[in-house]
């Protein structure tokens, strides 16, 4: 048998390595045009002065490090990250477990999933009326305060009082996002083999022990994926804040601050720096999501 020409394997290996990228090129080209180029341009603009267009270096990033309004927005985003993610996971897991294989499963899950079909702006308008506040002694037009006053309690300025306003906004986010978590966790729950539960019962495990030691470990990859996706939406929180408070009363978030810097103050340099900051905050979450997604795929 004739031997393969010397070095003939190298072009073949190179061809095998390049071929997948050639097939991916049509899909990667739009990514480069609509993602990589705008990102690079945003970084470039963040280093320019909005007034003169001259090179500003890190001045816009120095503003991020020293501005009280940026610190407030960043703190609120971290609050959104913790409470929105935790709230959606808690509601989603609770609904998925309690309604699994019961007669009213479809109705209960539909009630939780339905708000996800409502645009965030529309949901924010609905809840703005729910939270409506009028001074004590006047008829309350907001649903929650009408209930409170009917029960003999004082009305609450939900969106003005700094003790309640951020929690009230995040509650709207949970109401509109928990259905997403419910769908993913419910599907993962139904994929848990019934044999594992049977084995746990035979071994004498109670319902809580079976859930903790059998069900929950099986759900962990889906929980991580859901948590990271909700966390990304927490970093992007904008619609609810913009419609309900416009960032007033110490409720500002990074995305709303970026919008105001760009479209109100016309300062594209600072707005671009804020956009870069928002991207950097989201990247670690996206990496965790990618790793968790690969584990689920396996």
- Amino acid 9: pLDDT: 64
CATH architecture, domain 55-297: Orthogonal Bundle (1.10)
CA distances in angstroms from 58 to 38, 76, 257, 261, 283, listed in the order given: 19, 24, 19, 17, 21
Supply angle C-alpha 237, 239, 244, rounded to 5: 110
Q: Are 169 and 241 in contact (CB under 8 A)?
A: yes
Axis-axis angle for helices 165-190, 120-130 (nearest 10): 130
Tell me which of 268 and 194 has the higher pLDDT.
268
pLDDT above 90 for 59: yes
- Amino acid 144: pLDDT: 96
pLDDT above 80 for 292: no
For the chain, domain boundaries: 55-297
* Long-range contacts of the stretch 242-249 (C-beta < 8 A, 24+): 242/124, 243/121, 243/124, 243/125, 243/128, 244/124, 244/127, 244/128, 244/131, 244/159, 244/169, 244/172, 245/159, 245/165, 245/169, 247/73, 249/159, 249/160, 249/161, 249/162, 249/165
Sole residue written with tokens 């899909």: 27
Report pLDDT digits (tens) over 141-170: 999 999 999 999 999 999 999 999 999 999
pLDDT above 50 for 1: no
Give the mean model confidence (pLDDT) for residues 103-126. 93
Give the mean model confidence (pLDDT) for residues 9-29. 79
Q: Residue 39's CB: how many other CB atoms inside 10 A?
A: 13
Sole residue written with tokens 């072009």: 11
Report pLDDT digits (tens) over 195-225: 887 888 888 888 888 888 888 989 998 999 8
SS3 of residue 103 by DSSP = coil
The pTM for the full model equals 0.86
Q: Are 89 and 178 in contact (CB under 8 A)?
A: no
């Amino acid at each position: 048998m004739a031997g393969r020409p010397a070095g003939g394997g190298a072009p073949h290996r190179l061809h095998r390595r390049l071929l997948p990228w050639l097939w991916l090129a049509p899909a990667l080209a739009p990514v480069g045009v609509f993602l990589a180029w705008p990102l690079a341009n945003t970084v470039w603009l963040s280093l320019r002065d909005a007034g003169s267009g001259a090179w500003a270096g890190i001045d816009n990033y120095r503003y991020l490090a020293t501005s009280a309004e940026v610190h407030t927005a960043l703190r609120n985003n971290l609050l959104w990250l913790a409470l929105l993610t935790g709230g959606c996971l808690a509601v989603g897991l609770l609904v998925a477990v309690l309604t699994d294989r019961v007669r009213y499963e479809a109705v209960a899950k539909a009630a939780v999933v339905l708000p996800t079909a409502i645009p965030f702006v529309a949901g924010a308008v609905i809840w703005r009326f729910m939270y409506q506040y009028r001074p004590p002694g006047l008829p309350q037009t907001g649903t929650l305060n009408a209930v409170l006053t009917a029960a003999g309690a004082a009305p609450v300025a939900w969106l003005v009082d700094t003790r309640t306003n951020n929690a009230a906004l995040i509650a709207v986010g949970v109401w509109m996002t928990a259905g997403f978590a419910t769908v993913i966790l419910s599907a993962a729950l139904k994929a848990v083999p019934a044999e594992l539960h049977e084995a746990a019962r035979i071994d004498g495990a109670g319902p809580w022990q079976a859930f903790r030691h059998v069900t929950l470990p099986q759900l962990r990859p889906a929980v991580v994926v859901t948590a990271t996706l909700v966390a990304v939406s927490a970093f992007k929180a904008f619609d609810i804040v913009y419609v309900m408070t416009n960032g007033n009363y110490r409720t500002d978030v990074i995305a709303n601050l970026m919008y105001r810097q760009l479209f109100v103050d016309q300062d594209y340099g600072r707005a671009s720096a804020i956009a870069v900051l928002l991207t950097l905050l989201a990247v670690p979450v996206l990496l965790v999501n990618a790793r968790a997604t690969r584990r689920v795929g396996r």
